[in-house]
Amino acid sequence: MEIFRTRAEVRNYLEQVKPEGHSVGFVPTMGALHQGHLSLIEAARNKTDLVVCSIFVNPTQFNDKNDLANYPRPIEDDIHKLREAHCDVLFLPEVGEMYNSADKWNIELENLDNILEGEIRPGHYHGVTQIVKKLFDIISPDYAFFGQKDFQQFVVISFMVKKLGLKVKLIMCPIVREKDGLAMSSRNVYLSQEDRQHALALFKSLSKAKADFDTMSISELNRNAMDYLSNAPGIKTEYFEIYNADTFEPTTSKATEKVIALVAARVGKIRIIDNMILNKN
Ligand SMILES: Nc1ncnc2c1ncn2[C@@H]1O[C@H](COP(=O)(O)OP(=O)(O)OP(=O)(O)O)[C@@H](O)[C@H]1O
Ligand SMILES: CC(C)(CO)[C@@H](O)C(=O)[O-]
Ligand code: BAL
């Protein structure tokens, strides 16, 4: 695996090695890699000829200074995992390589910035779109791979790609879970054993809504989930919402083609998000 720390180096390398007609697959991450990230590398390997991963803890998407300072950065371990996963290129820039004082970024994300994660983490999607656009400009991928775990992020990046007319095709990969259902996430390392048990309430609330989908109205599903979550010990629920996955708007209609439930809660020192499509496997 080749490792580059500057934009110029990674771009030169890709220009040199990318043979005519071959495709580049890109997996942007913030590191502290787990099986969820590695499933994206695997999907990229299956679909494209050259796989590029980036690890960059992007300061502009953090609305909480402590969260940024404490974000896990086990870089040697990450490099080892990427080598084992046969990733071809790692782009590993410092903050100064990605940002300078002349940087300007403004994108109108319409309502996407005001709901769910956007509402709770003001400025978050502004920062995500800013860095993802920079990374797309440097890597020029044919395909970019993202996890369903951050479903709203996928919706926001799809919106940006369409709005700016970018040529990259986006691929959403399924959520990788621990054996008991907890969605893998880099911040899970900060859960105590007790928090770890409490965190399962999110997966359970989603699974119950899915199991009850055929027999209950959407408002009943919503109410039951909120009741369950508000009685679950050790968590502070931020939202449980049922949306039309295609329009990304709340839905109350069972006839909606793809219905998704999205949940977020504080558990111990961290926030956890999860989601599940309710009416399909
Ligand atoms: N459990 C998972 N299954 C599939 N993809 C995942 C999973 N967790 C994260 N990803 C995806 O990996 C990419 C990089 O995410 P990121 O580096 O922020 O990791 P993370 O585990 O989501 O960390 P955190 O939620 O603590 O920020 C994103 O596209 C994200 O959706
Ligand atoms: C897409 C991303 C790498 C941008 O920093 C980040 O938001 C993430 O890891 O999901
Ligand atoms: N996976 C989303 C990145 C973040 O929490 O900032």
Boundary of a domain, candidates 173, 205, 233:
173
Q: What is the reported pLDDT for 21? A: 84
Q: Is residue 23 domain-shared with residue 84, that is, in the same domain?
A: yes
**Residue 123: which CATH number?**
3.40.50.620
Does 161 reside within a domain?
yes
Residue 17 falls inside a structural domain: yes
Q: How many domains does the chain have?
A: 2
ipTM of the complex: 0.98
Q: 140 in a domain, yes or no?
A: yes
Residue of 22, 37, 80, 126 marked active site: 37
Q: What is the 3-state secondary structure (H, E, C) of the chain?
A: CEEECCHHHHHHHHHHHCCCCCCEEEEEECCCCCHHHHHHHHHHHHHCCEEEEEECCCHHHCCCHHHHHHCCCCHHHHHHHHHHCCCCEEECCCHHHHCCCCCCCCCCCHHHHCCCHHHHCCCHHHHHHHHHHHHHHHHCCCEEEEEHHHHHHHHHHHHHHHHHCCCCEEEEECCCECCCCCECCHHHHHCCHHHHHHCHHHHHHHHHHHHCCCCCCHHHHHHHHHHHHHHCCCEEEEEEEEEECCCCEECCCCCCCCEEEEEEEEECCEEEEEEEECCCC
- Output the ligand 3 site: residues, CB below 6 A: 30, 61, 150, 153
Residues of the chain with pLDDT under 50: none
CA of residue 203 to ligand 2 center, whole Å: 22
| pLDDT value at residue 94 | 98
pLDDT at 91: 99
Query: Is 126 designated active site?
Result: no
Q: State which residues form the domain around 85.
A: 2-173
Question: What's the pLDDT at 19?
Answer: 74
Residue 275 CB less than 6 A away from ligand 2: no
Residue 280 lies in a domain: no
Q: Are residues 164 and 266 in the same domain?
A: no
Query: Known binder of ligand: residue 148?
Result: yes
Q: Is the CB of 152 inside a 6 Å radius of any atom of ligand 1?
A: no
For residue 36, report the distance from its CA to the centre of ligand 2, in Å. 13
